[in-house]
Amino acid sequence: MRLLVSVAHADEVEAALAGGADIVDAKDPLRGALGAVSPSVLGAIARALGGRRPLSVALGDASESASLDGRVARAGAAAATYVKIGFMGIHDVRQVRSLAAAAIAGAGDSIGSPRVILVTYADRAGDDCVGVEEIIDASADVGAAGVLLDTAGKDAGTLWSFLSADAVAGWIERAHRAGLLAAVAGSLDVAGIRVVARLGADVAGVRGAACIGGRAGRVSAARVATLAACAREADSHRSTGAAFSASAAREKSPSELSS
């Protein structure tokens, strides 16, 4: 499993790399779960990264294709490997498909052709956005590269406040059956990183746990190193045959699963 660390400024890039981040993600945490950084900040992050790791770019929540095209193009120009797009406020999966298809077409036409990751929010699914399973179906239908399961409200609890480990395991399995990369975030801490790695996620995303001072703080190389070590330790357990199944998650809490 790869560890994605979100940075808000170019001066956080070196700490993320020194700690062992596998993917560096450009995101403004003050603007929400998928807050987009300004074009100038994105350019500075891309230059600081210098291609040493894949660059992911949060593009915010889509509402109409015209503005989305510009955001995708800027990410492509910054040599992004991935772009993340959410759909807060959109309940119609047909509209999600339409916007996602436009983003994928735009990505294919842009410099670098970044891979598109569609995002759903466990704490809002079915109320303010499409369901966690619907986003998988939509992603597969339009040819997205992967899906991200996240939370929109970072003060209302972690991912586990809204979904059980068993449910997350099933979501990852369904994404893999559809041929999609499965990424998981949602205020994950050390224990949460261990759990999602054992459940088979391809990528775990963090911001707050990687920072001194929380999401609005500053990325710490030492904190990133702790999280990276946990991800790789869990991978080691899986590679030696201690695979973690969905049935093993049933009736257990994330704290029990992290031990």
Q: Which residues pair with 132 in a beta bridge?
A: none
Ramachandran area for residue 54 (φ above 0: left; ψ -120 to 50: alpha; else beta): beta
Q: Which amino acid is at 111?
A: I
DSSP assignments along 18-55, one per residue = HHT-SEEEE--GGG-TTPPPPHHHHHHHHHHHTTSS-E
Cα separation, 91 vs 37, whole angstroms: 26
Active-site residue identified among 53, 84, 207, 223: 84
Catalytic (active site) residue 27: yes
Neighbours of 52 (CB within 10 A): 11
Pair 203, 166: CB distance under 8 Å: no
In angstroms, rounded to a whole number, what is the distance separating the alpha carbons of residues 69 and 63?
11
Active-site choice (2, 27, 53, 97) = 27
Q: What does DSSP say about strands 115-121 and 146-150: parallel, antiparallel, or unpaired?
A: parallel
User: Which helix H or strand E contains 86, and what residues bound it?
Assistant: strand 82-86
What are the catalytic residues? 27, 84
